[in-house]
Amino acid sequence: MQNTAEYICAYCGEPNLTFIDFSGGSTQSYVEDCQVCCRPNILYITIDEDTLEIAIDTEYEG
């Protein structure tokens, strides 16, 4: 089971790696700072319950 996923920073466009907590449900959202530019991104995470495929959308925080 994959416990990390990549997202693209909404500010600088750089890829980031984040840990996924599968016990948090199939839809999650939280704020995480970009590992490159340190700006806060809102992550919207969707986990397909059948395939466990992860999709992440990002948005500016603020």
Segments making up each domain of the chain, as ranges:
4-60
What top-level class would CATH report for the domain 4-60? mainly beta
Give the pLDDT band of residue 62 (cuts 50, 70, 90). Answer: confident
Tokens of 1: 């089971």
Give the pLDDT band of residue 7 (cuts 50, 70, 90). Answer: very high
Q: Give me the residue label for tokens 């992550």.
A: 43
pLDDT confidence of residue 1: 56
Strand partners, 12: none
Cut 0.85: pTM above it = yes
Provide, rounded to the nearest whole percent, the portion of the chain with pLDDT above 90: 94
The answer on pLDDT for 12 being more than 90 is yes
